[in-house]
A and B are shown apart, each in its own frame.
Chain A
Amino acid sequence: MSAAFASSRTNGSEVVKELAFFAVIALLMSVMLLGVETVDRPTGLELAVRWDLVLLAIGATVIGRLGLIFRRENISRLGQAVLITLSAVAVFEMFVRFRELDDRWVSPVFLDMVFSSVVSTIIGIAFVAIIFATAYFTMKDKTAADVDESAKLSSKIQLAYRSNTKKIGLIGIIFFIIFPFIFGEDRSAIDLATLVMIYIMLGWGLNIVVGLAGLLDLGYVAFYAVGAYSYALLSQNFDLSFWLCLPLAGIFAASFGIILGFPVLRLRGDYLAIVTLGFGEIIRVVLINWYDLTGGPDGISSIERPSFFGMADFSRRVPDGAIGFNELFGMEYSSMHRLIFLYYLILVLALVTNFVTLRLRKLPIGRAWEALREDEIACRSLGINPTNTKLSAFAIGAMFGGFAGAFFATRQGFISPESFTFLESAVILAIVVLGGMGSQIGVVLAAIVMIGFPEMFRELAEYRMLIFGAGIVAIMLWRPRGLLSFRDPTILLNMSQKEKVAGEIK
């Protein structure tokens, strides 16, 4: 061992120092998070101390770190794989134990679980084997050539992505179209997909304002709220149908976008962000306090559901004079029909948003947005009117927010100011930023990561937020400019896309 250390840059005492440092950090973090727990006993709430968890956390950290040191210093390929696997098992053990309240010291839960049945034995062995194999085969003997190799690989992936953007987009669209056929009977899957699609649409809408025009808008949820409330109020007070209200909601939201746009035209950066943030809050506070119109914190309930383009109804008990959707198509009644219809509705709305954005990017107005983001003075010196350009970005972005809002209202059947808090704005903005500003496919990925994953892993209860946080940190570390942060020219001349991208990466 000492000979191995002597051959590398690190010596024994430094390794011990590093391990001790990480052990202390693990101790500090785990004592409060894992070590103390409130337990509901007949005598009342009591604090239970879970030293086994703290010990596991420290053990997992130290072993894992040692594994990483082995890896870093090229000490032993087998050794580092074993250590990393051990660390992973310890983390797993920690999580399993945390969910159970009893304080057992003797036999590891992991072993109990693995040997409880044949299937779980296989799963357990597979789990260990996968981690071991990953750790074993991904270790590189670090030389200059290898670093080059890995850089080349990432640029190859980039190249593959950028020269096939259209195909990837098409595959994505096809996947989302056939999605209900795969998960047709799974209500929660369709619900989740609809939710993700709402956020994809909001992300694409905000992308016009933030990604293309470069105006940091922290109050985007206001337009979402305007859309939702305008549909709810129009349909309740004037008995207008969803199909009529949808464009109206978009127009209302767009005019609010212009109302917001005027005072903030002169602002930039931080100041703009603060004012838009305030605007979002104003809308929410007005919704809470204008009790006569909006119902205040009670919200608006039993909002009308959309019909099948005014031709058929989705309810079980069809009102007089209308036909049921199932009758129209001669099918058995199923409550899934409406959900699937809603899913397709938001899919179409989102695709329209995407299509319009892609078209606008190629038109002078879209180009002017992008130019405005890069250099306002240069834009003005080219004869672009910054006022109109900014207002149009706000208005069009807001309009799509309004469409999404109207959809949200009709899907939920109930809206209240609670749904339009600042957190929503932050989530939508995070989707745009994490996706890579201005990247359409990036928004889809980020929406799946930000909305889909936390919902999918709802069983993990509070840890999903922990994992969510870790995910965000990981994105910041490895892709600080967003998941897909390239901007490709909208037009290329005398060259295939492939050559162009390759030329640039070189």
Chain B
Amino acid sequence: MSMLKIEGVHTFYGNIEALKGIDMEVNEGEIVTLIGANGAGKTTLLMTCCGSPQASKGRILFEGQDISRMPMHEICQLGIQQSPEGRRIFPRMSVYENLQMGAITQDPKYFNSDIEMVFDLFPRLKERINQRAGTMSGGEQQMLAIGRALMGRPRLLLLDEPSLGLAPLIVKQIFETVEKINREKKMTVFLVEQNAFHALKLAHRGYVMVNGNITLSGTGAELLANPEVRAAYLEGGH
């Protein structure tokens, strides 16, 4: 069953058409990845799913409900949480407070078990529990961003470039954890990445975006083997 269904979505920034009719879907329990070059519209698509900016044409269905006209905070309360581009943790708050912020719309009774779950996934965060989030390394901040999103008890987790600006070893760790979240928590993950190799290896299915259009789709392995994808996103890089 498809959890997130995007049908013919167009999004504009002023007069500029950033998304030119996108169709894609994310099924329950999958990791779906969207790869593409800078400026292709990947982040715009992810943010359109969250309601900021709103799609000017087309529909976005989350578990059968049209969310394309809802404000961002209501969409997020439905069970879509994201780790936004550039992580956007709260730098002056402690790690613990950031995680509390993630759970702010949730029933407090889940809080203790949820935070234990996050600390199991990211033991590093437990060590840094009282540290000011802005003083942590990039990798730790990314872990915090994902952990904060998980505290919102999502059914669909959106990750926008979790590998941005991180060392290869850390990227590997992050992706391993994402896979673990998917496998053990049965979490549906929609991953937007430039780091095509890692992302496609991880993903059940993938889409390739060029200039606001989806040009290719297939399973992760198919796309990895696809000569066009290899030429555009993989050769020379890894």
Q: Which residues of A contact B (CB under 8 A)?
A: 364, 367-368, 370-371, 374-375, 377-386, 487, 489-495, 500, 503-504
Q: List 12 A-B contacts (CB under 8 A).
A: A374-B91, A374-B92, A375-B88, A377-B84, A377-B88, A381-B82, A383-B74, A386-B73, A489-B97, A491-B94, A492-B94, A493-B96
**Smallest Cβ-Cβ distance to B145: which chain A residue:** A378
**Smallest Cβ-Cβ distance to A494: which chain B residue:** B129
Do the beta carbons of A504 and B104 come within 8 Å of each other? no
Chain B positions 60 through 71: 1 when the CB is less than 8 Å from some CB of chain A, otherwise 0: 000000000001
Given contacts A489-B130, A494-B129, contact A383 B152 (CB under 8 A): yes
Do the beta carbons of B93 and A370 come within 8 Å of each other? yes
**Smallest Cβ-Cβ distance to B132: which chain A residue:** A504
Do the beta carbons of B73 and A385 come within 8 Å of each other? yes
- Knowing that A380-B76, A381-B72, A384-B73 touch, tell me 11 more A-B residue pairs with CB under 8 angstroms: A371-B101, A374-B92, A378-B89, A381-B76, A382-B81, A382-B148, A383-B77, A383-B152, A487-B92, A495-B130, A503-B131
Do the beta carbons of B73 and A374 come within 8 Å of each other? no
Q: Does B52 contact A (CB under 8 A)?
A: yes
Do the beta carbons of A384 and B105 come within 8 Å of each other? yes
Do the beta carbons of B90 and A371 come within 8 Å of each other? yes
- Distance (Å) between the CB of A372 and the closest chain B CB? 10
Docked Cα-Cα span, A491 to B131, in Å, equals 11
Q: Which residues of chain B from 88 to 147 have any CB-CB distance to chain A below 8 Å in the complex?
A: 88-94, 96-97, 100-102, 104-105, 129-132, 135
Q: Does B50 contact A (CB under 8 A)?
A: yes
Docked Cα-Cα span, A383 to B52, in Å, equals 13
- Distance (Å) between the CB of A505 and the closest chain B CB? 11
Given contacts A381-B76, A383-B104, contact A375 B82 (CB under 8 A): no
Do the beta carbons of A489 and B94 come within 8 Å of each other? yes
Which residues of chain A have C-beta atoms less than 8 A from B132's C-beta? Answer: 489, 504
Which residues of chain A have C-beta atoms less than 8 A from B73's C-beta? Answer: 380, 382-386
Do the beta carbons of B52 and A382 come within 8 Å of each other? no
Given contacts A377-B84, A500-B130, contact A382 B152 (CB under 8 A): yes
Do the beta carbons of A489 and B93 come within 8 Å of each other? yes
Docked Cα-Cα span, A367 to B82, in Å, equals 19
Smallest CB-CB A-B distances: 8 pairs: A383-B105, A383-B76, A489-B94, A378-B88, A380-B72, A383-B77, A374-B90, A385-B73
- Distance (Å) between the CB of A165 and the closest chain B CB? 16
Do the beta carbons of A377 and B130 come within 8 Å of each other? no
Docked Cα-Cα span, A364 to B104, in Å, equals 6
Do the beta carbons of B101 and A382 come within 8 Å of each other? yes
Which residues of chain B have C-beta atoms less than 8 A from A370's C-beta? Answer: 90, 92-93
Docked Cα-Cα span, A312 to B100, in Å, equals 49
**Smallest Cβ-Cβ distance to B51: which chain A residue:** A380
Q: Which of B89, B92, B102, B104 contacts A368 (CB 8 A)?
A: B104
**Smallest Cβ-Cβ distance to A499: which chain B residue:** B130
Which residues of chain A have C-beta atoms less than 8 A from B96's C-beta? Answer: 489, 491, 493
Do the beta carbons of A367 and B101 come within 8 Å of each other? yes
Docked Cα-Cα span, A80 to B100, in Å, equals 56
Which residues of chain A have C-beta atoms less than 8 A from B90's C-beta? Answer: 370-371, 374-375, 378
Which residues of chain B have C-beta atoms less than 8 A from A487's C-beta? Answer: 92
Do the beta carbons of B84 and A378 come within 8 Å of each other? yes
- Distance (Å) between the CB of A163 and the closest chain B CB? 14
Q: Of A364, A381, A384, A500, which is in contact with the most chain B CB atoms at under 10 Å from its CB?
A: A381
Which residues of chain A have C-beta atoms less than 8 A from B84's C-beta? Answer: 377-378, 381
Which residues of chain A have C-beta atoms less than 8 A from B72's C-beta? Answer: 380-381
Do the beta carbons of B77 and A491 come within 8 Å of each other? no
- Distance (Å) between the CB of A381 and the closest chain B CB? 5
Q: Which of A375, A383, A491 contacts B97 (CB 8 A)?
A: A491
**Smallest Cβ-Cβ distance to A495: which chain B residue:** B130
- Distance (Å) between the CB of A266 and the closest chain B CB? 13
- Distance (Å) between the CB of A410 and the closest chain B CB? 39
**Smallest Cβ-Cβ distance to A368: which chain B residue:** B104
Q: Of B50, B52, B129, which is in contact with the most chain A CB atoms at under 10 Å from its CB?
A: B129
Do the beta carbons of A493 and B130 come within 8 Å of each other? yes
Which residues of chain A have C-beta atoms less than 8 A from B148's C-beta? Answer: 382
Docked Cα-Cα span, A503 to B128, in Å, equals 11
Docked Cα-Cα span, A38 to B79, in Å, equals 75
Which residues of chain A have C-beta atoms less than 8 A from B94's C-beta? Answer: 489, 491-492
Do the beta carbons of B130 and A381 come within 8 Å of each other? no
**Smallest Cβ-Cβ distance to A388: which chain B residue:** B73
Do the beta carbons of A382 and B104 come within 8 Å of each other? yes
- Distance (Å) between the CB of B168 and the closest chain A CB? 27
**Smallest Cβ-Cβ distance to A378: which chain B residue:** B88
Which residues of chain B have C-beta atoms less than 8 A from A491's C-beta? Answer: 94, 96-97, 100
Which residues of chain B have C-beta atoms less than 8 A from A495's C-beta? Answer: 130
Which residues of chain A have C-beta atoms less than 8 A from B104's C-beta? Answer: 364, 367-368, 382-384
Which residues of chain B have C-beta atoms less than 8 A from A380's C-beta? Answer: 52, 71-73, 76
Which residues of chain A have C-beta atoms less than 8 A from B50's C-beta? Answer: 381
Do the beta carbons of A382 and B76 come within 8 Å of each other? yes
- Distance (Å) between the CB of B127 and the closest chain A CB? 11
Docked Cα-Cα span, A385 to B131, in Å, equals 27
Which residues of chain B have C-beta atoms less than 8 A from A379's C-beta? Answer: 101
**Smallest Cβ-Cβ distance to A488: which chain B residue:** B94
**Smallest Cβ-Cβ distance to A380: which chain B residue:** B72
Do the beta carbons of A492 and B130 come within 8 Å of each other? yes
Docked Cα-Cα span, A379 to B71, in Å, equals 13
Which residues of chain A have C-beta atoms less than 8 A from B81's C-beta? Answer: 381-382
Which residues of chain A have C-beta atoms less than 8 A from B100's C-beta? Answer: 367, 491
Docked Cα-Cα span, A187 to B79, in Å, equals 62
Which residues of chain B have C-beta atoms less than 8 A from A368's C-beta? Answer: 101, 104
- Distance (Å) between the CB of A155 and the closest chain B CB? 15
- Distance (Å) between the CB of A446 and the closest chain B CB? 20
**Smallest Cβ-Cβ distance to A500: which chain B residue:** B130
- Distance (Å) between the CB of B49 and the closest chain A CB? 11
Docked Cα-Cα span, A494 to B128, in Å, equals 11
Docked Cα-Cα span, A500 to B148, in Å, equals 22
Which residues of chain A have C-beta atoms less than 8 A from B130's C-beta? Answer: 489, 492-495, 500, 503
Docked Cα-Cα span, A102 to B118, in Å, equals 79
Q: Which residues of chain B from 4 to 43 have any CB-CB distance to chain A below 8 Å in the complex?
A: none
- Distance (Å) between the CB of A342 and the closest chain B CB? 38
Which residues of chain B have C-beta atoms less than 8 A from A489's C-beta? Answer: 93-94, 96-97, 130, 132
Docked Cα-Cα span, A494 to B129, in Å, equals 9
Q: Of B50, B81, B101, B104, which is in contact with the most chain A CB atoms at under 10 Å from its CB?
A: B101
